[in-house]
């Protein structure tokens, strides 16, 4: 499975009302080019904060929040998993796309191979943990996770190497404004 | 230095309902009050940038977050303040203890303390020292700035005495 395939499945399945927080670099840019939506919050800097932002949204919102980040991003803020496991929001799905590389840079290796993320996620308190290796597994497990009301961690192995012609996301205040307009307006309806 | 009851009543007045951060002894009474406040959801964070991410998320979902830290942690997280909260127009109130100013007895704080004012003044944020005398005005100016510009505000708290 490639990054593009994983993101396409997630973006096709995710409900319209679900916030999606996506880590910086090719992850955000690829997601943007597959399916731009008001509740996509694309990170462009602040590497590592994807899951923290998702946690903040999850504790204040009733919607199911999905965070997608790469292994470099997760390793940069690994202690966020402890914060999420402690808080246990039942509306948070934390997805790791793991290619063992800083792929938005020059595919330098990360240390993701030496960590058993499933064990770690269970130890700190995630209630539902899965390792995913193909697209059909991803479709069914992600669909079920959206209905499960459990703090979920999905570890998806992806391949290195993909096309890099993606659109740079430039209007950052617009990302915030339309996200809040969509999410908060909906809460009052 | 600011009286903790006064600071909490100002946070109540402006309806802050989320608190997170990394503790500093210079704000221990404020942090204790926020931790147990019935109208404030308190979230433990492991480092300052994580707290900023959590606070930003709560704001995106309609919350009003305050983030506490020492200036050492503020320096740790300047990239996140610039590339997330400022670039995306996410107003967060920061309570930052200003270690390393006059009277400091811990040498590791001196360099941060010396640079603090120059750095916050060059950033695209509201900054004011807050104390018992100016707190109503400082807080009201910070609120006006955040509402108007959707940018963060930093209130600097000097420690009263060093032990």
Q: In which band, very low, low, confident or very high, does the pLDDT at B163 lie, cut at 50, 70 and 90?
A: very low
Q: Any CB–CB contact under 8 A between B38 and chain A?
A: no
From A36's Cα to the closest Cα of chain B, the distance in A is 17
And the tokens for A177? 């404004």
**pLDDT exceeds 80 at position B158:** yes
When CB atoms are compared, the residue of B54, B82, B89 closest to A176 is B89
At a CB cut-off of 8 Å and minimum separation 6, what does B110 contact? B100, B104
**pLDDT exceeds 70 at position A187:** no
Q: Any CB–CB contact under 8 A between B44 and chain A?
A: yes
- Contact between B59 and B65 under an 8 Å Cβ cutoff? The reply is yes
- Contact between B52 and B80 under an 8 Å Cβ cutoff? The reply is yes
- Contact between A46 and A175 under an 8 Å Cβ cutoff? The reply is no
- Contact between A57 and A79 under an 8 Å Cβ cutoff? The reply is no
Distances (CA, A) of A150 to A127, A144, B159: 6, 10, 43
Q: Which of A86-90, A110-114, B19-23, B155-159 has the lowest mean pLDDT?
A: B155-159
**pLDDT exceeds 60 at position A114:** yes
And the tokens for A186? 């909906």
- Across the interface, whether the CB atoms of B89 and A173 are under 8 A apart is answered yes
When CB atoms are compared, the residue of A46, A59, A176 closest to B41 is A59
Phi/psi at B58 (nearest 5 deg)?
-65, -35
Helix (H, G, I), strand (E, B) or coil at B151: coil
pLDDT tens-digit profile of A116-154?
A: 999 999 999 999 999 999 999 999 999 999 999 999 999
Q: Any CB–CB contact under 8 A between A173 and chain B?
A: yes
Neighbours of A76 (CB within 10 A): 17
Distance CA B25, CA A152 (A): 35
pLDDT tens-digit profile of B100-135?
A: 988 888 999 999 999 999 999 999 999 999 999 999
Q: In which band, very low, low, confident or very high, does the pLDDT at A188 lie, cut at 50, 70 and 90?
A: low
- The structure's pTM equals 0.97
Q: Any CB–CB contact under 8 A between A19 and chain B?
A: yes
**pLDDT score for A161:** 77
Mean pLDDT, chain B, integer: 95
Q: In which band, very low, low, confident or very high, does the pLDDT at B25 lie, cut at 50, 70 and 90?
A: very high
Nearest residue on chain A to B79, alpha-carbon basis: A46
Q: Any CB–CB contact under 8 A between B5 and chain A?
A: no
Which chain A residues touch B55 with a CB distance below 8 Å? 56
- Contact between A94 and A120 under an 8 Å Cβ cutoff? The reply is no
- Contact between A89 and B58 under an 8 Å Cβ cutoff? The reply is no
Which chain A residues touch B58 with a CB distance below 8 Å? 56-57, 59-60
From A187's Cα to the closest Cα of chain B, the distance in A is 9
* Most A CBs within 10 Å, among B43, B66, B79, B88, to test the A interface: B88
When CB atoms are compared, the residue of B57, B80, B87 closest to A56 is B57
When CB atoms are compared, the residue of A54, A58, A187 closest to B62 is A187
What letter would DSSP give residue A92? E
**pLDDT exceeds 90 at position A39:** yes
What letter would DSSP give residue B26? G
Chain B, 91-120: which have a CB under 8 Å from a chain A CB?
none
At a CB cut-off of 8 Å and minimum separation 6, what does B100 contact? B71, B106, B109, B110, B111, B112, B113, B114, B116
Q: Any CB–CB contact under 8 A between A92 and chain B?
A: no
């Amino acid at each position: 499975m490639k990054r593009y395939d994983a993101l396409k499945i997630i973006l096709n399945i995710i409900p319209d009302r679900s916030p999606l927080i996506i880590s910086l670099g090719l992850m955000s840019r690829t997601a943007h080019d597959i399916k731009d939506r008001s509740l996509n919050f694309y990170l462009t800097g602040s590497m590592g904060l994807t899951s923290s932002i998702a946690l903040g949204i999850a504790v204040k919102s009733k919607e199911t929040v999905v965070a997608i980040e790469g292994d470099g991003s997760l390793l940069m803020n690994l202690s966020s998993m402890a914060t999420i496991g402690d808080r246990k929001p039942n509306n948070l799905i934390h997805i790791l796309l793991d290619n063992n590389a800083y792929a938005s840079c020059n595919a330098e290796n990360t240390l993701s191979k030496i960590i058993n993320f499933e064990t770690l996620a269970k130890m700190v308190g995630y209630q539902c943990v899965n390792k995913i290796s193909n697209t059909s597994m991803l479709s069914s497990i992600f669909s079920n996770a959206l209905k499960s009301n459990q703090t979920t961690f999905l570890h998806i192995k992806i391949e290195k190497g993909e096309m890099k012609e993606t659109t740079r996301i430039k209007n950052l205040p617009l990302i915030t404004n339309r996200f809040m307009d969509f999410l908060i307006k909906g809460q009052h309806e | 230095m600011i009286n903790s009851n006064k600071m909490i009543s100002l946070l109540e007045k402006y309806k802050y309902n989320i608190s997170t951060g990394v503790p500093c002894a210079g704000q221990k009474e404020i942090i204790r009050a926020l931790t147990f406040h019935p109208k404030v959801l308190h979230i433990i964070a492991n480092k300052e940038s994580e707290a900023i991410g959590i606070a930003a998320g709560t704001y995106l979902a309609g919350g009003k977050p305050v983030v506490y830290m020492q200036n050492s942690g503020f320096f740790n997280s300047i990239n996140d303040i610039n590339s997330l909260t400022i670039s995306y127009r996410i107003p967060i109130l920061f309570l930052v203890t200003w270690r390393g100013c006059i009277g400091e007895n811990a040498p590791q704080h001196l360099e941060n303390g010396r640079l603090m004012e120059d750095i916050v003044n060059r950033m695209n944020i509201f900054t004011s020292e807050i104390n018992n005398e100016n707190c109503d005005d400082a807080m009201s100016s910070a609120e006006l700035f955040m509402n108007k510009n959707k940018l963060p505000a930093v209130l600097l708290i000097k420690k009263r005495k060093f032990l």
